[in-house]
Amino acid sequence: MNAAYESPPLPGFADIEAAATRLAGVARRTPLLGDTPLDEAVAGRLLFKAECLQRNGSFKFRGAYNRLVQLDAAARRAGVVAFSSGNHAQGVAAAARMLGIPATIVMPANAPAIKLENTRALGAEVVLYDRFSEDREGIARRIVAERGATLVPAYDDPHIVAGQGTAGLELVQQARELGLTPDQVLVPTSGGGLTAGTAIAVRTLMPAAAVYGVEPEAFDDTRRSLAAGTLLNNPPEARSICDALQSSPPGRITFAINRGLLAGVLTVSDREVETAMARAFRDLKLVVEPGGAVALAAALAGRLPLAGRTTAIILSGGNVDPATFIAALTR
Compute how many other C-beta atoms are within 10 angstroms of the C-beta atom of residue 269.
Answer: 16
How far apart CA 245 and CA 283 sit, in angstroms, is: 24
Beta pairing, strands 45-50 & 32-33: antiparallel
The active-site residue, picked from 84, 190, 240, 316, is 316
Give me the catalytic one of 60, 84, 247, 248: 60
Which phi and psi (to 5°) does residue 243 adopt? -60, -30
Is 38 in contact with 225 (CB distance < 8 Å)? no
60 is catalytic: yes
What's the rounded Cα separation, in Å, for the pair 80 and 99? 11
Report residue 87: phi and psi, to 5°: -75, -45
Instruction: Report phi then psi at 193, rounded to 5.
Output: -65, -50
Relative to beta strand 125-129, strand 184-188 is unpaired
Beta strands in the chain (DSSP E): 2-3, 32-33, 45-50, 80-83, 103-108, 125-129, 150-151, 184-188, 210-216, 231-232, 264-268, 310-315
Q: Note if 58 is an active site residue.
A: no
- C-alpha 65/C-alpha 302 separation (Å) is 36
Residues forming the active site: 60, 316
